Structure 1
Amino acid sequence: MGHVQDRWFRKVPDPSKPGKHLLEPTARNGVGKRYRARVIGPDGGEISESFADGQDKAAQNWVDTTEAKITLGIYVPPKAAKARAVVFLEPFGKTYLEDLDVDEASREIMEMRFRKHIFPHLGQEEIPEIKASHLRSWDSKLRKADLSDQYRHTLFMNLLAALNAAVDDGLIDKNPCEGKSVKKPKPTKKKIIPWPEARIWSVRSHLPDRFQVLTDLGAGLGLRQGECLGLGVEDLAPDRGKVTVCRQIKTVRNQLVFALPKYEKERDVPLGDHVLAAIKDHMELFPPVKVTLPWGKPGGKLVTASLIVTSVRGLAVRANDFDRNYWKKALKAAGVPCGRYENGMHDLRHFFASVLLDQGESIKAVAEWLGHADPAFTLGTYTHLMPSSDSRTRGVIDGLYSRRNGPETAHEDPTA
């Protein structure tokens, strides 16, 4: 069994109290480090470490931790640990991102986050030397740079995942992001306030005729922006009253590509008569164009779709260009605030969800039509928009007691 030796004092029997002990100074009292922690190593030899005065708890923790590592077979002798190759966070992180099993658009976004907000602060640190204090200082700098709680949370989770990979590779024994003194940023969840109907029609009217149908696809079908831009004639099934959402347009490495919808999840969405009519009217004015793009990433397999919405030159529309050149201008013309992260096309999806929930549609159905991975996310996002159940509950209970009392007493005055 490991133990901690106090080299400044030794226990001696207390002559005045049988069975008790006193602390008697040793010849080393006040010289050097006070505590020596000792354990028996895997080869039967002694392993030890010295600790200063006041660090008796740290010494005991070293004993407990070292014995646990020996038991688990993961103990690395200090000399062997020093012999490990020096690995800095930046080159390790770049390799980690290259090998990560994600789509290219997600990889590009993560590379940008590390390049702009992680590597400049921590990239030149040796991974085993990254401490909780480094992470607290890093997050403090992110706060001073006015990064949002949501974005800081995302950056923290990205770094945590990379350092988990370092743990798996044996570069470190514990992820410093999980230290007790490291406070993980918590994203602030804002309640969604759906657009009023009048705003939908006002913004639509201020868009060029070529792009007005995008509001119908967003507000009437609940499609994401990339799904609106990637919708093809072949995805419409008017005879079944359905639209199959099986494609979106994304920008990867500055090149447009086709890809599966978010979460790689295809879905069918109900197609109402009025939305269908708006799509048909649009296609009469602006006939669909066959557009060929690589699938998933630049250089991927070429895929062709007859896109309903295209640019003036008959090309696929780049979301950023549309937002800058048309959407924000329509918002301004309609008197709608248009900050960087407010009142984007995504608000049309919120309107779609709010209308359905207000009419009593189930969370499960709305989640399926929106393409959410988990209905619990839909519930957490839109639960405040669901109609109050107070009156419905009162009616159900009143009906229950009416049936119990019978027809003769069902409507008697309870105060009589």
Structure 2
Amino acid sequence: MASTSLIRGMGSFFKECEHPESRWSKCPHDYKIRYRNASGQQTEESGFANQEAAKSRLAEVYHARKNSPMSLHKAERIKKYGSMHFSAYTAEWLKGQRHQSPTSLRNTDSILRNRLLPAFGSRRMGTFDHKVVEAFITDMERDGVGLAAQTNAYIRLKTILLDAHRLGLYEDSPLEGVQPPQYDAERAVIPSLPQLHGIRTAGDDAFRLVAELMSGCGLRNGEAYAVNINNIVADDVYRVSEQVNQATKSCARLKHRKAGEYRDVPLPARTKHAIECYADTYGTVNGYLLRNPKDITLAMPHHIISGQWRRLKASGQVDLPEGMVLYGLRHFFASNCLSNGIPITDVAEWMGHRDVKITFKYYRHLMPGSISRAAQVLDLGLAA
């Protein structure tokens, strides 16, 4: 089946018969037309005796679509936003991001100020295409920007341009065919058990409690700072329901969770004992253990524990693996679980990962020899 195309966006006419296109004007078969309707769906009509009738119908449909209220509204959006500078567009876009947490908004603002606005601030929105995006990635590579920073900048730019694409600013997505920065998370740096013992005896009592919670229950930093004795829901279960938000310095919902949502995690006897001893020694405020030293009605600020961690690393008094950060205590929890045969799906749930793929990406290497073990098990079954 051959077809003859008209101007871009109008559609095409054709015949479904055994005759070549050169014979269409003389063969007795009717013409058909194909076009996209107002909702974008492909549509066919038949029964046209000649090319002029087919073309006339295509032109009629095309102009009706162009003059429809939907198309006119799209044209108004393109006129309004297409000439708008990237800086003005993102300022308006940010107003619609109320669903994001304060930390996410702060990260977005940082990426805009440091990466996107210097590169695109005065660029008009209608001028973006895949070449502009590719050039931006190339410039970051040339300037030695880290892969993690490249990825974060690209993701924010992608979100903004897709928002503009939904408004109809581009016929084709300006991200189509673009190869995003290839970021592979580095393997987690995890302390050995002797190194963990050293960390657990360093710093003040608040620091030691945080170390116990992160390594024993897999809590994130902010979740450990929000520890509450009332969250011990069973002798071996701790309920993680809040975290201290680094931006607001107050208790807030968990990462990737709605307000009021929680997760229950295993509570080792050692960690439970640490919580209870701290409560007995220092008391609690509405059940919360860690408070701001200057005002116990406020939550524990992030900088107090992170400052102790930096001083601990600088002092050299504790043996630490090269490149380890405080978050490595949480990695120890994952390592301890997986090396003892606990399913990775359970570990993902306890750590609060929204997708088990995240857990697998970071901790797959902590399950060495799984293929060999599987081969041995399968071999036993085959030999039976």
TM-score, normalised relative to structure 1: 0.68
- Please identify the structure whose Cα radius of gyration is greater: 1
Q: Structure 1 379/74 Cα, relative in aligned 2: closer, same or farther at 3 Å?
A: farther
Residues 161-209 of structure 1 deviation map (CA, whole Å, 9 limit, x = unaligned) = 111111111223233222x3x4311112322242111221212222122
The code of the aligned residue for 1:161 comes to T
Give the alignment partner of residue 170 of structure 1, picking from 165, 168, 171: 168
Match of 2:85 in 1: 88
1:121-132 equivalent positions in 2, closer than 5 A: 121-132=119-130
Residues in 2 aligned to 1:137 and 1:383: alpha-carbon distance in whole angstroms: 34
Unaligned runs of 5+ in 1: 5-18, 20-39, 43-66, 291-305, 405-416
1:345 to 326, 329, 346: 326
Aligned to 1:257: 250
How many residues are treated as equivalent by the alignment? 317
- Check whether the contact 1:360–1:387 (CA below 8 A) recurs between aligned residues: no
Secondary structure of the 2:246 match is strand
Amino acid across the alignment from 2:96: D
Secondary structure at the counterpart of residue 237 of structure 1: strand
Instruction: Tell me how far apart the structure 2 counterparts of residues 267 and 245 of structure 1 sit (CA, whole Å).
Output: 5
Structure 1 residues 289 and 145, CA gap change in structure 2 (3 angstroms): farther
CA distance in structure 1 between the partners assigned to 2:378 and 2:171 by the alignment? 58
Structure 2 Cα separation of the partners of residues 278 and 393 of structure 1: 42
Matched, 1:318 2:311: no
Counterpart mapping for 1:8-407 below 5 A: 73=65, 84-85=79-80, 86-100=83-97, 101-178=99-176, 180=177, 182-239=178-235, 241-252=236-247, 255-264=248-257, 266-290=262-286, 306-313=287-294, 314=296, 315-323=298-306, 325-333=307-315, 334-336=318-320, 342-389=323-370, 390-391=372-373, 393-394=375-376, 397-398=379-380, 401=383, 404=384
Q: CA-to-partner distance for each residue in 1:244-288, whole Å, 9 max, x for gaps? A: 000001033xx3232121111520011121111122222222222
For the residues of structure 1 that align with 2:164 and 2:233, how far apart are their CA atoms? 49
* Cα gap change, 1:169 to 1:74, in 2 (>3 Å): farther
Tell me the alpha carbon deviations over residues 31-78 of structure 1, each in whole angstroms, 9 at most, x when there is no partner. Answer: xxxxxxxxx9x9xxxxxxxxxxxxxxxxxxxxxxxx9x959947989x
Cα distance in 2 for partners of 1:282, 1:104 equals: 30
Of the structure 1 ranges 310-319 and 89-98, higher mean CA displacement relative to structure 2 is found in: 310-319
* Aligned twin of 1:59: none
Structure 2 length as normaliser, TM-score? Answer: 0.74
Deviating 4+ runs (over 6 angstroms) = 74-77, 80-83
Match of 2:32 in 1: none
Q: CA RMSD in A?
A: 3.1
How far is 1:320 from its partner? 3.2
Q: Any idea what SS the aligned residue of 2:157 has? A: helix
Q: 1:238·1:276 contact (CA, 8 Å) conserved in 2?
A: no
* Matched position secondary structure for 1:251: coil
Corresponding residue of 1:27: none
What is residue 61 of structure 1 aligned with on the other side?
A: none
